[in-house]
Amino acid sequence: MMHSRAPNPVMQIVTYGAVFFCVTSLTIVWTRFSGGLALVWPGAAIAAALFLTIPRSHSLAAAVTLAAFSTLATALFGLGPVWAIPFALVNVFEAWLIAWLLVRFRPQQDYVESEIGIVWLGFLAGIVGPLAASIPGGILASQVIAGGWQEHSFSWFIAHGLGTLLVMPLTLLLASYKKPVFARLLKRDRILPFIGMTLLTIGISAVALLQSTFPTLFLPVVPLVLASFRFGRFGAAITVLLITLASAGTLGTDTGVFAELTIPLWQKALFLQFYLSILVLLSFPLAVALKQRQRFMEELANREAMQRLIADHSDDALLQLDQHGMIRFASPASIRLSGRDKVVDLHLAAFFSEFDKEIVDRTLRSAAQYPGHTEIIERSVERGGQTRWLEAKLRAIDSSKHQASAYVVTIRDVTARKLDEIQASREARTDALTGLPNRRAFLDVLEDQLEFAGEEPFALALVDLDYFKRVNDSYGHAVGDAVLKQVAEIMRESANDNCFFARLGGEEFGMIAVGPARETAAIICEKLRLAIQRHVMTDNDGGTFNITASLGIARIAERCSSSMAMQAADGPLYSAKAAGRNRLRHAQDMGRHGENRKPPLEDSRVAANS
CA–CA distance, 539 with 472 (Å, rounded to integer): 11
* CB hemisphere CA count around 48 (13 angstroms): 35
Alpha helix positions (H), 177-187: 179-185
| Residue of 556, 454, 523 whose CA lies nearest to 570 | 556
Residues facing 494 on adjacent strands:
none
Q: What is the DSSP letter of 145?
A: S
CA–CA distance, 312 with 291 (Å, rounded to integer): 31
CA–CA distance, 444 with 527 (Å, rounded to integer): 26
| Residue of 139, 167, 163, 145 whose CA lies nearest to 37 | 145
| Residue of 173, 177, 101, 169 whose CA lies nearest to 132 | 101
Q: What SS3 class is residue 558?
A: coil
CA–CA distance, 305 with 445 (Å, rounded to integer): 54
* CB hemisphere CA count around 608 (13 angstroms): 17
Q: 3-state SS of the chain: helix, strand, coil percent to 5?
A: 60, 15, 25
Query: Rounded to 5 degrees, what are φ and ψ at 364?
Result: -65, -40
- Angstrom CA distances, 282 to 91, 128, 306, stand at 29, 21, 36
CA–CA distance, 219 with 205 (Å, rounded to integer): 7
Collect all residues with Cβ–Cβ distance below 8 Å to 340 and sequence separation of at least 6.
346, 350
Q: Which residues are catalytic?
A: 507
The answer to whether 590 and 554 have CB atoms below 8 angstroms apart is yes
Q: What is the DSSP letter of 108?
A: T
